[in-house]
Amino acid sequence: MPDVKRTNYATGQFLTATDFNREQTYHTGLRHLHNQYLHTPGIVQGLAVSKVDDTHIAVAAGMAIVSSYRRHGHLAATLDPLGTQPQGDPALDWHNYGLTPSVMSAVPAAVLRTKLKGSTLADIVEKLRETYGSTIAYEVEHIANIEQREWLRDYIESGKHFVPISPDRARDVLGRLTKVETFERYLRKTYIGQKTFSIEGVDAMVPMLEEIITLLSDDGVQTAVIGMAHRGRLATIAHVVNRPYEELLAEFEAADLRRADAADADDVTGDVKYHHGAEGTYPTRPGVEIAVTLANNPSHLEAVDGVVEGRTRALQTDHDTPIAKLVTGRAAPILIHGDAAFSAQGVVAEVLNLQALAGYATGGTLHIIANNQIGFTTDPSDARSTRYASDLAKGFDVPIVHVNADDVDACMAAVHLAVDFRRRFGHDVIIDLIGYRRFGHNETDEPAYTQPGLYERIKTHPTVRELYAQKLIAQGVIGADEANALSTAATVRITEAHQAVKNGTWHRPPAISPPAPDVADDVKLDTTVSREKLLAWNDELLAVPPSFTVHPKLVRQLEKRRQTFVAEGEADWGLAESLAFASLLSEGTPIRLTGQDTQRGTFSHRHVMLHDAKSTREYAPLQHLAGALASFEIYNSPLSEYACMGFEYGYSVELPKALVLWEAQFGDFMNGAQIIIDQFIAAGQAKWSESGRLTLLLPHGYEGAGPEHSSARIERFLQLSAEGNVRVVNCSTAAQYFHVLRFQARTPKARPLVVFTPKSLLRLKAAAASIEELTTGRFHPIVDDARFAQNRGAVERILLVSGKIYHDLTAHADFAKMAKTAIVRVELLSPLPVDEMIELFESYPNLKQIVWVQEEPKNMGARAHVRRRLLERLPAKYGDIEYVGRSYRASPSEGYGGAHAVEQERILREALGEA
Ligand SMILES: Cc1ncc(C[n+]2csc(CCOP(=O)(O)OP(=O)(O)O)c2C)c(N)n1
Ligand SMILES: [Mg+2]
């Protein structure tokens, strides 16, 4: 007895009584129309058809059947290996069109315009059933692009993807399946109770991946970048990434092994086996191989999707010329999804949305949904509101191939279609591999607690290897002894590997890309640039081709900025940033900057991409600098944080020499990417020795614009910072920003950087950079109060501040009244320069009190972090760090401008009062 919930979904349906009635009404209606109109002479005369006979009607019906199969044939397909019967659809049944076999035999196939073989409608109907209603099914009719749709129809109906399989090839595929099954069984039997997240039930995925990478390699793809979750990961590492069994068995044998490795590098906290990535090379043909990278990922399902896209894009991009060159044929992304995760994790939609965007396209992603028809203990009917796990993708014009995971030949055909489509159109394609999960969610779970009926059935269901071996034996392709020999060989191989690990004769091969050596930040790094170069770039930043017309108002603004730098030696924030970029490009550092409205800048301060007032042409002077040795990429991103930040993280990991920047519209919006921040940016180095120079630009500052437009949640980043994992800075001037960008790109220690960027300071004269600061200065982790340089004894009190509030304090009327209070700016919030700070305090001989002043509420901002870190080492004579700022609050700021102004004024007065 099939259980009701299951029948409802993979191939059955949520057909409620109402739906059913509606369907019936529809088809009755069709028949009615047919009878009423096509047989009514007046109507037919109105159509100017001289004579309508049964053949005409049969042609129309035949066309309707062809169309129905193309759209709904999947409803008749046998997609569930566990035997759920297809729902079918009345529109697929010729009886419902008033046809008879003899009428169908009178309709020539040619008029139906299909690629199916046959001479009459009768043949075609049969072929339609075989093509669309077997163990493989297609959803392509939702695709708006007519060329793609027709290509897919022709391809599917001509059956090109069913490449004839030679005996050798069939043996090879059976061999692959046998290895997978043997491997999974060996692990389960040998390491009882350890989690392996067995692939069994969708075993075909491994030979499919092997096929995919072989076909990609035939096309010249050099690297396949794979992202996947736990399910089948170990089998993929062993057979697709091609890491030796010994390596994986060693992990199981000695959980201590990592501990021993980690003892030498105390910044590697490590991660569980099924989250680690791997790199390898897979031999595809004699003398040919393809590099395969499996990305590290956290438990958070689908979080890695954007990362894989970014890594692939970095591999596909040439960075040696001012304008980056995209060569998508060089690398290909493959994403493997769980059925529950694919339909319910929002980031899947965000990543699908990247596929055709100029700044993000990767030539099409090959997606496989490893659809075991369950998510942990949750049935599909509780996991999604749609029929198929893949339905979301329809909105992105992606072709979808559903395939029964027990039919290996059909699975291979699905692969050929997917790869051929990607090659032809450079777009995403999805294979929904419908299988089952032979065991519990992991090896310690009892699935019969929650799906008793299902697991009764699974218990007696033959494995896909058994089924395929039986098929080949029945076809006479191989003998039973050959199939057994493959099993024996697979067992011998893994047993030998295990022995070698246990008796110590196996030694870990060196990693293909060893982790970058841990180096210290070069604190003395010279980040200055000569005056001549700065002045030359200042001019070049406004140089456009003669035929290009920038908006006159913008020209005035930019020209004023240029002249201010020439005449007064003063650069505002936007100019300082562009000059830093120009300098890095001239030194060979590729730059990629993306974010929402980033080309112009949310606050209209950047204008790095100029627009011709008279056409749609665009021009970025930074892509045309005379001496540039590296590429400058700048893209407005789609309105996504999670996928996009993941993408940039991946890009930065793959290209650690580049300065990759992601900008938030307002800092708070990084919240949408918190998983990327927590699991990759903050913890990637500790878990997987993975890092890069990803730089987050997060607008932050209290200016009365409301909760989300004030705070970039500084406290979150500071809570996450440890072991030098990220640099966190809050620059109070454009010069500091200039130098920190240059430092970030050039210091030997590649680590992510978080910059809290300003809003009002973008144009504040007091925050502008002087040319001298750029030609002689550097990034200062703390900035002392210059007023007391010669009079240190006067200071009894220090206001420690960070970011914009410094300017609020110094601009306040009470500031001038302060005679014994110095204002010290903390620009590097993490790693907090504690030694330097204490040294500075000690340089004030009469210092009695240190006050942390911030505009954020007390439970937010940098207060807790700075206080905690300082108090660990601060001499007792200074007492505690006092506090002036907003009190504990649930929301970061006042919602009303007026209330903000009152509170801001109170903070400033309190801080500036020398009671
Ligand atoms: C974002 C996220 N939420 C919840 C979990 C906990 N979790 C781990 S596996 C799993 C079920 C996944 O089902 P599916 O995507 O179908 O993959 P399967 O395990 O069936 O291969 C859940 C809920 C998680 N890892 N990540
Ligand atoms: Mg699942």
Distance 612 CA to ligand 2 centre (A): 51
Distances (CA, A) of 636 to 51, 426, 607, 644: 60, 21, 12, 11
Residue ID of nearest Cα to ligand 1 atom 13: 375
Distance 788 CA to ligand 2 centre (A): 66
The encoded tokens of residue 355 equal: 């596929």
Distances (CA, A) of 330 to 279, 297, 356, 509, 557: 17, 23, 17, 27, 42
Distance between CA atoms of residues 847 and 695, nearest Å: 37
Q: Which atom of ligand 1 is nearest to the CA of 675?
A: 1
CB atoms within 10 A of CB 816: 9
Distance 453 CA to ligand 1 centre (A): 22
Q: Which atom of ligand 1 is nearest to the CA of 299?
A: 25
Distances (CA, A) of 26 to 30, 64, 172, 251, 635: 6, 14, 49, 60, 48
pLDDT of residue 57: 83
Answer whether 679's CB lies under 8 Å from 686's CB.
Answer: no
Distance between CA atoms of residues 439 and 455, nearest Å: 8
DSSP code of residue 448: G
Closest CA to 511 of 244, 310, 227: 244
Q: Is the dihedral angle over the CA atoms 577, 582, 585, 590 positive or is it negative?
A: positive
**Residue 288 exposure: Cα atoms within 13 Å on the Cβ side:** 14
The encoded tokens of residue 900 equal: 């903000």
Average pLDDT over residues 334-342: 98
The encoded tokens of residue 662 equal: 């992601």
pLDDT in tens, 148-188: 999 999 999 999 999 888 899 899 999 999 999 999 999 99
- Checking if the pLDDT of 14 tops 70, the result is no
pLDDT of residue 914: 80
- Ligand 1 mutation target, pool 205, 274, 301, most atoms within 8 A of CB: 301
Least confident of 37-41, 67-71, 777-781: 37-41
DSSP code of residue 256: H
Residue ID of nearest Cα to ligand 1 atom 22: 376
Distance between CA atoms of residues 497 and 247, nearest Å: 9
CB-defined site of ligand 1, < 6 Å:
231, 299-301, 338-341, 370, 372, 374-376, 437, 441
- Checking if the pLDDT of 265 tops 60, the result is no
Closest CA to 66 of 144, 160, 154: 154
Residue ID of nearest Cα to ligand 1 atom 7: 376
DSSP code of residue 34: I
Distances (CA, A) of 402 to 78, 79, 903: 10, 7, 60
- Nearest ligand, CA of residue 340? 1
Distance between CA atoms of residues 98 and 57, nearest Å: 9
- Checking if the pLDDT of 523 tops 90, the result is no
Distance between CA atoms of residues 673 and 691, nearest Å: 17
Q: Which atom of ligand 1 is nearest to the CA of 303?
A: 1
- Checking if the pLDDT of 11 tops 50, the result is no
Enumerate the β-bridge partners of residue 853.
884
- Checking if the pLDDT of 58 tops 60, the result is yes
**List of residues 6+ apart from 830 with CB closer than 8 A:** 717, 718, 721, 726, 727, 728, 865
Residue ID of nearest Cα to ligand 1 atom 17: 338
Strand 331-338 versus strand 769-770 pairing type: unpaired
Distance 15 CA to ligand 2 centre (A): 23
Q: Which H or E run includes 158?
A: helix 146-158
pLDDT of residue 416: 98
Closest CA to 6 of 89, 88, 83, 90: 83
Coil, helix or strand at residue 391? helix
- Checking if the pLDDT of 30 tops 50, the result is no
Answer whether 177's CB lies under 8 Å from 204's CB.
Answer: yes
The three state secondary structure string of 707-729 is CCCCCCCHHHHHHHCCCCCCEEE
pLDDT of residue 514: 80
Q: Which atom of ligand 1 is nearest to the CA of 441?
A: 19
Distances (CA, A) of 844 to 798, 800, 914: 9, 14, 17
- Checking if the pLDDT of 266 tops 90, the result is no
- Checking if the pLDDT of 259 tops 80, the result is no
Strand 400-404 versus strand 136-139 pairing type: antiparallel
pLDDT in tens, 706-744: 999 999 999 999 999 999 999 999 999 999 999 999 999
Answer whether 622's CB lies under 8 Å from 608's CB.
Answer: yes
Cα distance from N-terminal residue to C-terminal residue, the chain: 84
Distance between CA atoms of residues 37 and 412, nearest Å: 46
Distance 377 CA to ligand 2 centre (A): 9
pLDDT of residue 915: 65
DSSP 537-602: HHHHTT---TT----HHHHHHHHHHHHHHHHH-EE-HHHHHHHHHHHHHHTT--EEEEETTTTT-T
- Nearest ligand, CA of residue 342? 1
Q: Which H or E run includes 465?
A: helix 464-474
Distance 338 CA to ligand 2 centre (A): 5
Distance 431 CA to ligand 1 centre (A): 19
pLDDT of residue 165: 82
Quick one: what percent of the chain has pLDDT higher than 70? 93
Residue ID of nearest Cα to ligand 1 atom 9: 376
Distance 284 CA to ligand 2 centre (A): 30
Distance 228 CA to ligand 2 centre (A): 13
pLDDT of residue 273: 76
pLDDT in tens, 274-319: 788 999 999 999 999 999 999 999 999 999 999 999 999 999 999 9
Average pLDDT over residues 762-774: 97
pLDDT in tens, 776-832: 999 999 999 999 999 999 999 999 999 999 999 999 999 999 999 999 999 999 999
Answer whether 455's CB lies under 8 Å from 448's CB.
Answer: yes
pLDDT in tens, 463-513: 999 999 999 999 999 999 999 999 999 999 999 999 999 999 999 888 888
- Checking if the pLDDT of 12 tops 60, the result is no
Q: Which atom of ligand 1 is nearest to the CA of 301?
A: 26
pLDDT of residue 268: 56
Characterise 600 by phi-psi region: left (phi > 0), alpha (psi -120 to 50), beta (else). Answer: alpha
Distance 301 CA to ligand 1 centre (A): 6
**List of residues 6+ apart from 331 with CB closer than 8 A:** 221, 222, 223, 224, 225, 312, 315, 316, 362
Q: Which atom of ligand 1 is nearest to the CA of 389?
A: 16
CB atoms within 10 A of CB 373: 27
Answer whether 559's CB lies under 8 Å from 542's CB.
Answer: yes
pLDDT of residue 4: 34
The encoded tokens of residue 543 equal: 């140089």
In this structure, what is the dihedral angle of CA atoms 220, 223, 229, 233, given to the nearest 10 degrees? 90
Distance between CA atoms of residues 593 and 106, nearest Å: 64
Range 471-479, long-range pairs (CB < 8 A, 24+ positions): 471/408, 472/170, 472/171, 472/174, 477/167, 477/170, 477/171, 478/167, 478/170, 478/171, 478/174
Distance 339 CA to ligand 1 centre (A): 9
pLDDT band of 448, cuts 50, 70, 90: very high
Place of tokens 């700048």: 634
Using only C-alpha atoms, what is the Rg of the chain? Answer: 33
Distance between CA atoms of residues 731 and 911, nearest Å: 20
Distance 686 CA to ligand 2 centre (A): 29
Least confident of 13-22, 52-61, 285-294: 13-22
pLDDT in tens, 848-903: 999 999 999 999 999 999 999 999 999 999 999 999 999 999 999 999 999 999 99
- Checking if the pLDDT of 3 tops 70, the result is no
- Nearest ligand, CA of residue 304? 1
The two most distant CA atoms of the chain are separated, in Å, by 111
| Buried-exposed string 874-903: b where 16+ CB fall within 10 A, e elsewhere | beeebeebbebbbeeeeebbbeeeeebeeb
- Ligand 1 mutation target, pool 376, 378, 384, most atoms within 8 A of CB: 376
pLDDT of residue 393: 98
Residue ID of nearest Cα to ligand 1 atom 26: 300
The encoded tokens of residue 844 equal: 């004030």
pLDDT of residue 511: 81
Higher pLDDT, 343 or 15: 343
Answer whether 412's CB lies under 8 Å from 173's CB.
Answer: yes
Distance 406 CA to ligand 1 centre (A): 23
Average pLDDT over residues 80-108: 94
pLDDT of residue 579: 98
Q: Which atom of ligand 1 is nearest to the CA of 231?
A: 21
- Nearest ligand, CA of residue 232? 1
Place of tokens 């089952």: 436
Residue ID of nearest Cα to ligand 1 atom 20: 375
Answer whether 333's CB lies under 8 Å from 367's CB.
Answer: no
Distance 375 CA to ligand 1 centre (A): 6
pLDDT band of 253, cuts 50, 70, 90: confident
The amino acid present at 464, given as its one-letter code, is V
Q: Which atom of ligand 1 is nearest to the CA of 337?
A: 15
Place of tokens 């009882």: 192
Mean pLDDT, rounded, of the chain: 92
Q: Which atom of ligand 1 is nearest to the CA of 232?
A: 21
DSSP code of residue 296: P
Residue ID of nearest Cα to ligand 1 atom 12: 375
The amino acid present at 203, given as its one-letter code, is D
Distance between CA atoms of residues 505 and 848, nearest Å: 66
Distance between CA atoms of residues 267 and 265, nearest Å: 5
Q: Which atom of ligand 1 is nearest to the CA of 375?
A: 13
Answer whether 84's CB lies under 8 Å from 12's CB.
Answer: yes
Coil, helix or strand at residue 418? helix
Distance 442 CA to ligand 2 centre (A): 12
Q: Which atom of ligand 1 is nearest to the CA of 370?
A: 21
Q: Which atom of ligand 1 is nearest to the CA of 372?
A: 20
The encoded tokens of residue 37 equal: 């109109």
